[in-house]
Structure 1
Amino acid sequence: MDWYEKLNDYFPEHEMKDPNQLKDLIEEKDVYHIEETDDYIILYADFPTFLFIDYLLVISNSRGKGMGTKVLDRLKKRGKMILLEAEPSDPDNEDTRRRLAFYEKNGFRKADQIRYVREDDEGRPFSMYILYWAPTEIPQETIMGKMEKACEEIHNFRAKKYYGRLLADPDKVLNWKQ
């Protein structure tokens, strides 16, 4: 699972799933897919009404050449809403700013009415943005419902087996901003 090492080297530890959970998702969930090339790695769920990008990594020597945009454009052609999670911009971490700028440049918007806060293995909370792209205007209530499904079916798939807890109980991690 060389692809896992590449993801693990790039993404923060608290965002990485157990490699065996990912292996089970790929092998046993019809909606969950991996694509790996010399230029990128993407793990995503293709639900009937939306796509959920779990991980997207453009390999470092391919960055800045439009590869990530090509991957997203190919997914957009399916005509479904696309959801993903991204870290908030951190002034001390250039990658967080670049990632958000990349998704914004590609037409993704922040679901600014939804608060999404998970916990790491030590119980420390961390916030994530929910970013979305849609071929037509979508109410944030719809985004909330799709994100609940992604939490239930992807993040929490066999989570108790691998972590002893749910990774993202939708009733606890997703809330409307006041």
Structure 2
Amino acid sequence: MDWYNRLNDYFPKEEMKKYSHLRDLIQDQDMYHKEETEDYLLLYGEFSSFVFVDYLLVNQKRRGSGVGSKVIRNLKEKRKPILLEVEPADPQVADTQKRIHFYRKNGFQVADQIHYEREADNGETFSLNIHYWTPKPVPQAKIYHMMSKACHHIHNFRSEQHYGRIQADPDEVLELKQPVLS
């Protein structure tokens, strides 16, 4: 359970799944994986057509040393689109800006046509941005459908059992906006 404490100490409370939920994902979802070393902790779902990074945590002492970029490179070798959720930049929280810079540096772009808003256990809503990397160009409508699948198979996996509710109904938390034509 040390790995869970590491995640819980770093990620915002509203983004954390319960230990029992993550345990069930790891044990009972063949596509959900946990990689743990002293340098990093990675939890992700590998679907047939894409990878969804649920959590990536690099040991604080190793940040800036290339560990995170190496983890991302290893995922890119699967030659599938990679999706993940990132908090919007908050000038009050330096780590939010560092995360965005890290993903941008590693070739990720923001799915600016997808609005993603979740509800925390206390009823407050929070927004996350979907960042993605693809080996070849993919329309954001396809990213939207991949994210819907991640919500269904990861966020909502036994969520009623663990939280008493569906955590991320794609029809309610995701919205695909039309691109702005210039």
Seq. identity, %? 56
Q: Deviations over 1:117-170 (max 9, x none)?
A: 000011111000000000000000100000000000000000000111111000
Deviations 1:12-64 (A, max 9, x none): 00000010010000000000000000000000001010000000000101101
Could you report, residue by residue, the CA deviation over 1:69-101 in whole angstroms, capped at 9, with x for unpaired residues? 000001101100000000000010000000000
Once superposed, what is the RMSD of the aligned Cα atoms? 0.6
Alignment of 1:26-175 (within 5 A): 26-175=26-175
Partner Cα separation in structure 2 for residue 3 and residue 176 of structure 1: 34
- Quote the offset at 1:103 in angstroms: 0.2
Q: Is the contact between residue 40 and residue 59 of structure 2 (CA under 8 Å) also seen in structure 1?
A: yes
For structure 1, the 5+ residue unaligned runs are none
TM-score of the pair, normalised by structure 2: 0.97
- C-alpha distance in structure 2 between counterparts of 1:115 and 1:38, whole Å: 35
How many pairs align?
178
2:128 aligned counterpart, secondary structure: strand
Q: Do the aligned partners of 2:141 and 2:176 also contact (CA within 8 Å) in 1?
A: no
Q: CA deviation at 1:176?
A: 2.1
Q: Which runs of 4+ in 1 moved over 2 A?
A: none
> Could you say which residue in structure 1 is the equivalent of 2:19?
19
